[in-house]
Amino acid sequence: MNRSSCFTGVRPLANSGSGKTTGQYSRDHHIEVLSGDWTNLSFPVYSLVGGKWTSFRAFSEQVTDKVLAFLGKSRQKYTTDLPIGGGRGYPRSEEDRKSILKAWLPD
């Protein structure tokens, strides 16, 4: 599938052809792959298009899987259980959350 892209804001978004304003462009992500036929390179070029903060991890793993497959390698690490952004250090158990709230809130 070959889609053209349009820069809207700080990230390129896929042009579905039906959007008349930038607000109508899909925020879904996809991967554009250019082969050596287009680039005269011996390897593909992967372009990440679209996506959101909430989906960047899954998107990154999808691209990584494509690159690993091209290199004939397998994934060694998954990021599913790694916290991102504001979630880093957030207490995992209800008991720990209550303990922190108790320390923060006045009696």
Most confident of 24-28, 77-81, 96-100: 96-100
Whole-model pTM: value is 0.55
31: β partners: 48
Per-residue pLDDT of 46-75, as tens digits, reads 887 777 767 778 888 888 999 999 999 999
What does the pLDDT read at residue 99?
87
Average pLDDT value for the chain? 79
What does the pLDDT read at residue 8?
47
In contact, 26 and 50? CB cutoff 8 Å: yes
> Encoding tokens for residue 30?
């996809």
What does the pLDDT read at residue 37?
84
Distance, CA of 81 to CA of 10 (rounded, Å): 28
Q: What percentage of the chain exceeds 90 in pLDDT? A: 13
Residue 33's φ and ψ, nearest 5 degrees, are -120, 120
